A and B are shown apart, each in its own frame.
Chain A
Amino acid sequence: MAEQRTPFQKLAYSILNLDRRIIFTLVFVCVTAPLIWPIGMDFTPTKEVRDAFDDIEALEEGAVVLISADYGPSSMPETHPMYITLLHQCFRKGLRPVILTLVPSGPGLANRGLLDVLEMENPDGSLMYPGLKEGVDYAFLGYKPGGTAVMLGLGQSFVTTFPNDYDGDPTSKMPLFREVSRLGDCAYIFDVASVGYPEFWVPYASERENVPLSVCCTAVSAAQYYPYYQAGLFRGLVGGMKGSAEYEKLMNMEEILGKIPPATNGMDAQSVVHVLIVLAIIVANFFYFVSRRWEIQEGGRS
């Protein structure tokens, strides 16, 4: 039968039986090329991302924002840029972030991100955020196992739930926690998460303590969180690397960092790969249906 095939049929069957390594190579090229030679595709921040950004912008100077960095290295490209951007936004507005993490792989990344932002310098070599004091202008509480139990504990007291911060310093001696003793005293909760914690922050913290909540999640989780945003349980929703890129754009991170920020940098590659995937779906389906027709015709003849 193979000898009777026309060149078009040969092409169709070779595409339908394409070696997966060719597809991987194409994806690799489509990701790498735009990262080396950026195209600069434009994108517009969506309402759900803008809502989160506007909420933080509207907070008064000195307000405390609880940031739960519930992500690990496996989702770093999607969530870490958002965490960094959020810290910049907090320090620029004079807000006081209290950072914690509920996942065991989180403290190292969250601490490194915080130090990166604190040590950031202006073009003239001066510190971007000088004079910030731990325990006064910000706090990093580290990791605590327990998930919902920690959320409920924070509703009672920061000091009893986290007697010491990440460095082992007692929180009871920190001026920040004398002023803001429990979760209900915070102005905002922002959960940057790669796991299912956002849906627990709603009933056990946000709704219970009446503190608004916004969420940055991985793109995998974004679809399941839209009902929460639509119901107003999440004030804003930053989904995946695209959401992080939108937040970077709203925050004008390119000017702050002096280079294209990481999530924005990935958007060209993301768009090119998406075009490749859509084309692959169309081409493969076209040849699949054509080949089915040939097989039915051949079956009829025999």
Chain B
Amino acid sequence: MSIGTIIGLWLAAGLTVIIFSFIYKDNPFYKLGEHVFLGVSLGYGWCIYYYNDIFPQAIQPLTEVGEDARNWLVLIPIVLGLFIILRMVPSLAWLSRFSFALYIGGFAGLAVPNVISGNFLPQLTSTINPIGPDWVSAITQLVLLVGVFCTVVFFFFSWEHRGVVGKIGRVGILYIMVAFGASFGYTVMARVSLLIGRIQFMLHDWIGSMTGGG
């Protein structure tokens, strides 16, 4: 194992302990870990954005000479991008409207047909499938249909939720509660998974590197 890897392992393990120390109570070591994390994330983010976005998309096309001629067309998106930054200058903030108008118009034009045909309609079709062919599928389909209908009624606010509408809405609430429960259960599972991953690192990678069992 190289010396760099060993230093990296000890740093990562130390920072893990420092961050976990917050569970006991807030302390200066936790604050240090928090600030290191923020600083490293920002620095990393800047480098990634510069070398993957700003340099190849904006600077390189304007400065490259030789085989690839300069591409002056990139000045258009660069200027539009700068207009957005000008929102910070109150007297020139209005210029950002051009950029946003182009962005929202273009994205909406792209999104509406794609999302309707590729997302909304297939989900709608699968909801209104014929019931059957076997009884298990039939029950599943019925549960789904009742759930969709009742939940949609619950979110229909033009009628007062009383009488039949109120009762259907209550069934809708039950479905929503089940969905929240499933979602929360999965969230708990995800958070536990993250803790498992960190303890796996501490046991297998860090302690394992010291005992030779990594």
Contact = CB atoms under 8 A, between A and B. Distances in A.
Partners in one complex: yes
Interface of A: 21, 24, 27-28, 31-32, 35-36, 74-78, 104-105, 107, 142-145, 148, 152, 199, 202-204, 206-208, 218-220, 222-224, 227-228, 230-233, 239-242, 262, 265-266, 269-270, 273-274, 277
4 smallest A-B Cβ distances: which pairs? A77-B197, A207-B118, A203-B118, A219-B190
Contacts of B200: 35, 77, 262, 265-266
B177 interface: no
Given A36-B203, A208-B118, A239-B186, A145 B49 contact: yes
Contacts of B126: 230-232
Contact of B195 (A27, A144, A203): A27
A22 to B, nearest CB: 11
B60 to A, nearest CB: 10
Nearest to B119: A203
B164 interface: no
B24 interface: yes
A142 B52 contact: yes
B27 interface: no
Contacts of B182: 223
Given A207-B119, A230-B144, 17 more contacts: A31-B195, A31-B196, A36-B203, A74-B194, A77-B197, A78-B193, A142-B52, A145-B49, A152-B110, A203-B119, A218-B190, A231-B125, A239-B186, A240-B193, A262-B200, A273-B192, A274-B188
Given A223-B182, A223-B186, A240-B189, A233 B197 contact: no
Interface in B174-199: 179, 182-183, 186-190, 192-199
Contacts of A77: 193-194, 196-198, 200
Interface of B: 23-24, 44-45, 48-49, 52-53, 107, 110-111, 114-115, 117-119, 122-123, 125-127, 144, 179, 182-183, 186-190, 192-200, 203
Given A32-B203, A145-B52, A203-B114, A233 B119 contact: yes
Contacts of A104: 44-45, 48-49, 52
A222 B182 CA distance: 10
Contacts of B107: 148
Contacts of B127: 231
Given A35-B199, A36-B203, A262-B200, A204 B114 contact: yes
7 contacts: A31-B192, A77-B197, A145-B52, A203-B111, A220-B186, A240-B189, A274-B188
A144 B52 contact: yes
A240 B190 contact: yes
A78 B49 contact: no
A223 B42 CA distance: 31
A206 B118 contact: yes
Given A32-B203, A223-B183, A228 B189 contact: no
Nearest to B24: A21
Contacts of A207: 114, 117-119, 122
B123 A231 contact: yes
Contacts of B189: 219, 240-242, 270, 274
A71 B194 CA distance: 13
Nearest to A201: B118
Nearest to A224: B183
A274 B119 contact: no
Contacts of A240: 186, 189-190, 193
Contacts of B45: 104
A181 to B, nearest CB: 20
A219 B199 contact: no
Nearest to B193: A241
A51 B124 CA distance: 22
A227 B114 CA distance: 18
A199 B196 contact: no
A231 B128 CA distance: 11
Most chain B CB within 10 A, of A107, A218, A223, A240, is at A223
A270 B194 contact: no
A269 B196 contact: yes
Contacts of A270: 189, 192-193, 196
A227 B119 CA distance: 10
